[in-house]
Structure formats: C-alpha cells, structure tokens
Structure 1
Amino acid sequence: MAIYQAAAPPEFFQALRKASGKRAEGGVYTVELTLWMMMRQRLDPKGTLSTTVQDVAEGRPQALLPAHKRLAEGTLSSNTGGYCRARQRLGQEVAVQLGDRIFNYLMADVPEALPGLGRQVFLLDGSSLDLPATPELREAYPPAENQRGPAHWPIVRIVVAHDVISGFAMQPCWGPMYGDQRVSEQALAAEGIGQLPAGSVVVADRNFGIFSTAYDADRRRYPVVVRLTDARARHLLQGRLPQQTDQRIDWTPSRWDRAHHPDLPADAGVRGRVIACQVTRQGRTVQLYLFTTLELPPQQIAELYGYRWNIETDLRSLKQTVHLHSLTARSVDMVAKELVLAVAAYNLVRGTMYAAAHAAGIDPRQLSFSRVQDVVNACLPSLTAADSPEAYRRVLDRMLRRVAQCKLPRRPQRPSYPRAVWARRNNFPKRKKP
C-alpha cells in the first residue's frame, strides 16, 4: 500500500485528469481506487471481482476511499456491477503509466549486479498465456492450428525482463502467438529492450542468441550476455567448437538474417566476444558458448549468465502465484489492462521482499515469493484499515519482520527420476466446436 501511494501520489492522478480534460469521478470507484482493486484482485487467492468489492464495502483501504454517501452510511452494494463498469472505463494508458511509475520507483534503489560493473542487469525470457475463448479474443489472438483444425483457446505470447537482484519486472510486451499477425519472442524482445533503464545489461538464453537481438541491443547501447547454440557458435568460430576460448569477433548478419530483417543496414554488425567455458552444477558439467559485448573476465561473464535461471522462477510466480496464467478478461482492451496491472501487483510484492531483505541484511532472492504473498495478504486488511500513521507503521514493521522470515529452504540434492504422471480417465467425448 505504501509503495502504491508513494509511486502514484494524488498529484499523479490530478495530472492525468488534467491532461485528459476529465473531471474527478463522482462515484465510489475512482481511478486510484479502481487501479488498486485490480492489483489487489491479482494478489488474492480467489482473484475475483467480488473479493475486492467486499473490501471496499468494509471501508478498506481508507486512504483511497472517496468522500461518498454510500461509504459514510455503510450502504454500498456488495454487487460487482459498479466495479466492473469502472474497470471498463479505465484507460489502458493509465494502467501503463501506473505500471511504469511503480517499476521506476522501485528500481531507483537497486544496486549494480556485480561490484564494479556500474550497471543493472536484466534477465529476458518469454512465455505464453491462455485466454477465454471469446470471438474478439480468438480473432486478435488466434488459437493454435494443425491438420485437424484450430484449437479452442486463444493464446498470447509475452516477453518480460526481470532485474537480476530484486526480481522487479518491466512492463510486458505481448502479441499473438499464431495467425497471420503472429510475432516472435525476438521481435517482442527488441520492443522490450528499449524500455529498460539506460545502459542495462541484457542476459538471455539460446532463443535470443541471434544476430537481430544482439544488434538491436547494441545499437541502443545495451550490453548483452546471450547463450549461443552449438551450430551458431561453430559458425562464429569458423568451424571450431573449443571447450575453452575467449575470442573477439565481428558478428555480421547472415543471408537468413537479411532475408527476415530486410531493414538491416548494409554495414550492420556487432563487435564482441565469444566465450567458451564449462560449468559444473550438481555433479553435471555443461558446455556453454556465450556472446557478450561486455569487457569483463570470462569468469564474471559466466557468473552473470548463471543468474539466468532466476527468470524461470520469476515467470512461475507471475503465472501461478499472481494468476497471470488464467486471465478472465473477455476483450482485447481488458486483457492489456490486466496484463499490465498483474505485473504491477507482482512488483508490489517484490518491493515488500526487497524492503524486508534490505532491513534484515539478506539477499532478496533468498525469500519465497509465495510465502511473502501469504504474509502480504494476511497483513493488508490491517494496513488498509489503519487510522493513523503510527498504527500503519506498527503493522508495516511487523509485516516486514515476518517477510524476512520467509526464506527458501536449503534442500539437499534430490535424485533425478523420469518425469511421468498418472493417467486420468475421462469417459466424456471431446468437444469439437466452441
């Protein structure tokens, strides 16, 4: 709650209304309250409109409630119609601006990723989300299709970047995964890289270890550390695949690159290094081929790439814990607003983790996102009902102490085993039409 109010003070909303030429809302569900409710909805275990409406009916959060007769009398309807209409009225650009403000506010205090690096490092990766099968969404985000025809669920492809230290996520970039207007993860990455803080380092896996991604980042002055496939590394190293090397190269586009990116200038190229190294983890040795434009020793380049695994758990937290995998929006406009505000809600929890870890002198990555979210959900009613700054501070201090206790367990190495699941019988026929 404190992060939301600090990142988006009343002056921010006043400026939005002035820029749009709109007057202050006369109803209960003002812009600032509606935005908070949409983020709160993402953090709630049920994640329904009704749960957040019940909070408002109970007079929470006090700091965001307008002076309204229904609230003063305690006669606000517990039905969700008013809130639903407020969500639909909310402009997409307002949600985007709020998400940017929360991200920038939280990133202001994040230190450099490595001592002496002088830069922040972001982990880049993509995923996909299923959407409700409405006609509008099926047209905008077509389902997958094979020789048997189209599937049922619309699918949207997203790319996000997370800070390596804190886990804070930038605004997502998204587009259709299938259909004539489909976009690749690499194209979305090029859009997302431009949103990062100036000079940030981009770390990504083999899916982004291609010329176009390296070139887009380099021309915008974003250093990269990307993993290469063996075939691409062999090409760049002129047919060799050594176990250890640190070789400077001039990476130029291939015929395939120019065919798929005809806008590349004739002199397009990226000067950097190909680093080959072996890392051992849990008794397993992995051969890595990395391309980087950073001037760091190979050991530090490998260390930076080693943090890449964190984005896998970050995406899991976004999709499972914040319910991003089950968007209920039924229009293109509402999908955009829910995507942006779901990431903003995720950043609010990450901000709580970062504040608690800083106070306790521990690494924010040592804390469990899911357990911290449980603490936040348990403390939010008391925080939003606090009637004085002193009462709010007491609840906040107690919450941060509990958050600092939510450490991930140090489990011993578990034996590997083949992945398998028990079959579930289903006697019902499969539907073939919506």
Structure 2
Amino acid sequence: MTLRVQILKDRFNQSLGLPFKELLPASVIEKALHELNIRYYRRLFDPIVTLWAFLSQVLDTDKSCHNAVSKVIAYLAAQGVEIPSTDTSAYCQARSRLPEKFLEKLFSQVGQRLEEKVGTEHLWCGRNVMVIDGSTVSMPDTIENQEEYPQPKTQKPGCGFPIAKIGVIFSLATGGAVALCINVLNTHDIKLARQLYQFLNPFDILLGDRAFCAYADLVAIKKINCDAVFRKHQARKTSMRKGKIVGDCDKLVTWYKPTNCPKGLNKDEFNALPPSITVREIYYCIVIPGFRTERVSLITTLLDKVTYSTLDIVGLYGQRWDVELNLRHLKTTLDMDVLRCKTPSMVRKEIYVYLLAYNLLRSLMWSAGTTYGTPPLRLSLQGTRHHLNNFIPELLAATSTKRLKIYRTLLKVIAHKAVPDRPARNEPRVRKRRPKAYPLMTKPRHELRNLLQTA
C-alpha cells in the first residue's frame, strides 16, 4: 500500500505538480493537513492522492469519478504494481472524508500566493483592485440538496433543481479568485458581499456594480481602510444642483444616514453608522454600439482628483466586466454551472476544488505571460486547460531533465496566441441551433412514468 501511494504521489507531482509547483506542492498540502490536525489512515486514497485526483477530475472534460479512478489505475499499471478495483466507491468515500475546511484553506492559500506575484507595474494607481460579483450554480435534485439549497419557488416540486448562490471576489490584476461564500438562492448579493469584506487587505479597492452601492457598505469598506468604486444604485436619484463640482461630470456629494434601518442590518449596526459620509460622483454617457447602457453614474470613496483622475476611474469601472468573464470561465469553460455531487457538503467541496483548479490555471497563465511578455489576462483559459491536459502524458513519460524543458515549452505555447481585446464587438443575443421539440417537465418524473404505463 505504501509503495502504491508513493507512486501515485510521484506521478501527480510530475504531471499536475510541476506546473503548479510554486503554489501547490505536496509540502503545502501536508502543512495544511498538519495545521488543521487532520489524521488519516494509510490507504490508497489518502488526502493528498485524493486531492490530486479531484483536481484532475475537474480539469478534465470527462468529470466522472470512473474517469478519475481509471487514471489512477493507469498510473499504477505503468509501474507494474497491483492495481486497485475499478469500482469508484473507495475514491468517492475518500472525497467525502476530505474536510471542507481543508479545501477552503488550500483555495485561500493559493489565491494569496498568486496575489504575492503581482508587481507594482500591474497595480492601478499604485493600488490593488478587487472585483466582486454573485452568481448561481445548479446541483443534482436530491432530498439533501433540496433541503439546504431549495429550488426556485416558481417551479413545481420535483420539476426543478436545487440552486446555490455564490459570491466571489476576484483580483483584477491576475484574474484569480481570492474569496468565496455560498448561500441559498434568494440571498441578495449585498449580503454575500458583507461576508467577504473580511478578506480585503488594507488599501485595496473594491469594484462592483450597482447591487453593492449602499450607504452602510461604503462605511464598512472605509472602516477597514479600503476604498470602493460602485455604480450608483437605480433607487438613488441624481441631482445636478447638489454637491461640490471638482471637474467635468465630477463632483463631491454628501450622503446622509437612512432614516430607517435597512434590511440585513441589526439595530446595533445601524446605530453605529455615522450621520453622513462624503463620496465622489462621476457621471458619463456611453455611445459605443453594442452597449445597452447609455448613461452611467459612479460612486466612489476615492476623493483625491489629482491622484485618481476622472478618466482613470471611468476606465477602471470599464474593467468591471472582467468579473463576468471570470464567472463565465468557471461556469462554462470549467463546467461548474451544473455540479455533480449529491449532498450539500460535497457540493461545497466541489465548488472549492473548482475554484482551486481555476486559480492554478490562472497561475499557469501568469507564469506564461510574465515569462514571454504577453499580458496574462489576454491569454485563453480554455487554451491553457487544453495545453495542460495534452502535455500531462509527456510530462509523465519524460526524465527529470527533459521534464523542465517540456514545462518551458508548455509556457511558450500558452503565451503564443493572445485573445484579442474587442470592446466594441456587437453581436445579437440569438441562437441559431434549434432545441429539441420536447415539452418542458411540468410534473415529477414518477408521475410521468405512471402516465406512460397507464397510456
């Protein structure tokens, strides 16, 4: 058993471990296990082997547990040792034994290590920018998932799928995920954001859309010595006559504490709010074809017009769209949109592993871009995943000297072709491929089966 486990660790370190050796070596995994006081038996699927197999599973296009176990069998067969059973139960039980805190800790550490690579030349006005947004993920329709993450109330019982709401903070410089929180579907984005402020570092700038632009949140962000750039909420009216004008379409205005306690705040938090705050309001018009919004009003706590010019802030908010692309990479490129696990605990673990794999791909893109002089954010995440999966067999078959040469070639091909920047692209939101002419499910499956039998 010890020999087989060591063989698997070596094989994973030679394939996945080499590209990610700076962020997730075996020593980091072992340290996290020790810090969390996680003890385990000496079995084939120990936490390290299970984690590597889990990562390779979400990075592959075939995300079945059978495919992950098949890789493990192939690694052992190549070494001429006894192979395990093709049954997936041992691997699935090993995944369920992985503590949620362990995966959360690894995700957080990899995100922080990726942020440490950012130099001053990649900062915005000398400061680090974080961008926040929320999204949803679907999961299998099981009793446990329905109880913890209920389906939308508009759907009939048995006709929908459990859906969880996630809030994520991404780094604008690296594109990596820094923080995550998970809640039920009807959770407002601002409630998720208030759970994520603790992950901001002093002097960070938080960038977000109008959902996050609230009086209490601007106060909370300033309280932790950070700043914010949000789009103005549609419920707050704009008055051109009020405020101190500091430039074209740029003024300082005073916001006053709400008269009633907003939802999501308790009385003590509401009473602790200051009576007023001064914010900066910037308004401009968009005339680029393809953009739905014509007029935008921004609210920011960056009051110094000399250090943070109007055009700089407008340009910064234009980069907010990157968070939508990052979420699309997670949900569409890596297929996190529809999860596979059947219990809430495993669903959360699966989300953390997806984000961990996403950060590792971002680290590979960062290494390729900085090594060969290509902007890392302009590289293709899908292309990076394809190249990595195709290079893994060659990394496994190569000697230690040749393996480093193959790794450098991997970085070179990742940086070979940058994705073009097309901000004025105008495409209609239509589908050419017609869907199948099957009706929607309006009754639970067991009722539909009974109707077929009685017909």
TM-score, scaled relative to structure 2: 0.83
Give the 3 Å change call, closer, same or farther, for CA 147–136 of structure 1 in structure 2: closer
CA distance in 1, matches of 2:428, 2:109: 45
Number of the residue aligned with 2:452: none
Give the 3 Å change call, closer, same or farther, for CA 2–201 of structure 1 in structure 2: farther
CA distance in 1, matches of 2:39, 2:112: 27
Equivalent residue letter for 2:319: Y
Q: Deviations over 1:46-97 (max 9, x none)?
A: 111122222222228xxxxxxxx99761423333222111101111111011
Give the 3 Å change call, closer, same or farther, for CA 280–244 of structure 1 in structure 2: farther
Number of the residue aligned with 1:152: 160
Give the 3 Å change call, closer, same or farther, for CA 83–235 of structure 1 in structure 2: farther
Give the 3 Å change call, closer, same or farther, for CA 138–229 of structure 1 in structure 2: same
Is 1:350 matched with 2:355?
no
Q: Deviations over 1:307-360 (max 9, x none)?
A: 111111111100011111111111111111111110010011111111111011
Equivalent residue letter for 2:328: R
Number of the residue aligned with 2:12: none
Give the 3 Å change call, closer, same or farther, for CA 82–185 of structure 1 in structure 2: same
Give the 3 Å change call, closer, same or farther, for CA 23–160 of structure 1 in structure 2: closer
Equivalent residue letter for 1:373: R
Using the TM superposition, give the Cα deviation of residue 425 of structure 1 relative to its aligned residue in structure 2, in angstroms: 5.2
Residue 118 of structure 1, aligned match among 119, 122, 126: 126
Q: What runs of 5+ residues in structure 1 fail to find an aligned partner? A: 61-68
Q: Deviations over 1:78-133 (max 9, x none)?
A: 33222111101111111011111111111111135766722211111111111111
CA distance in 2, matches of 1:249, 1:150: 51
CA contact (8 A) 1:113 1:165 kept: no
CA distance in 2, matches of 1:80, 1:186: 40
CA distance in 2, matches of 1:331, 1:417: 39
Q: Deviations over 1:151-189 (max 9, x none)?
A: 5211100111211122111232110014xxxx2211111
CA distance in 1, matches of 2:216, 2:116: 30
Number of the residue aligned with 1:432: 443
Residue 389 of structure 2, aligned match among 377, 381, 385: 377
Using the TM superposition, give the Cα deviation of residue 34 of structure 1 relative to its aligned residue in structure 2, in angstroms: 1.2
Residue 293 of structure 1, aligned match among 286, 301, 319: 301
Is 1:100 matched with 2:108?
yes
Is 1:44 matched with 2:60?
yes
Using the TM superposition, give the Cα deviation of residue 10 of structure 1 relative to its aligned residue in structure 2, in angstroms: 4.2
* Percent identical: 25
Residue 400 of structure 1, aligned match among 411, 417, 422: 411
CA contact (8 A) 2:151 2:163 kept: yes
CA contact (8 A) 2:132 2:207 kept: yes
Number of the residue aligned with 1:57: 73
CA distance in 1, matches of 2:195, 2:433: 41
Q: Deviations over 1:174-220 (max 9, x none)?
A: 10014xxxx22111111122213332111111122222332332222
CA contact (8 A) 1:112 1:121 kept: no
RMSD: 3.1
Using the TM superposition, give the Cα deviation of residue 3 of structure 1 relative to its aligned residue in structure 2, in angstroms: 5.5
More deviation, 212-221/31-40: 212-221
Q: What runs of 5+ residues in structure 2 fail to find an aligned partner? A: 1-16, 446-455
Number of the residue aligned with 1:65: none
Using the TM superposition, give the Cα deviation of residue 367 of structure 1 relative to its aligned residue in structure 2, in angstroms: 1.2
CA contact (8 A) 1:113 1:121 kept: no
Number of the residue aligned with 2:201: 197
CA contact (8 A) 2:285 2:296 kept: yes
Give the 3 Å change call, closer, same or farther, for CA 157–395 of structure 1 in structure 2: same
- When the two structures are aligned, how many residues end up with a matched partner? 421
CA contact (8 A) 1:234 1:240 kept: no
Residue 248 of structure 1, aligned match among 241, 246, 252: 252
CA distance in 2, matches of 1:375, 1:424: 32
Give the 3 Å change call, closer, same or farther, for CA 312–153 of structure 1 in structure 2: same
Number of the residue aligned with 2:83: 75
Q: Secondary structure at the match of 1:391?
A: helix
Number of the residue aligned with 1:265: 271
5 Å-filtered alignment, 1:118-137, equals 118-137=126-145
CA contact (8 A) 1:277 1:289 kept: yes
Number of the residue aligned with 1:35: 51
Residue 140 of structure 1, aligned match among 144, 148, 164: 148
CA contact (8 A) 1:236 1:251 kept: no
Equivalent residue letter for 1:332: P
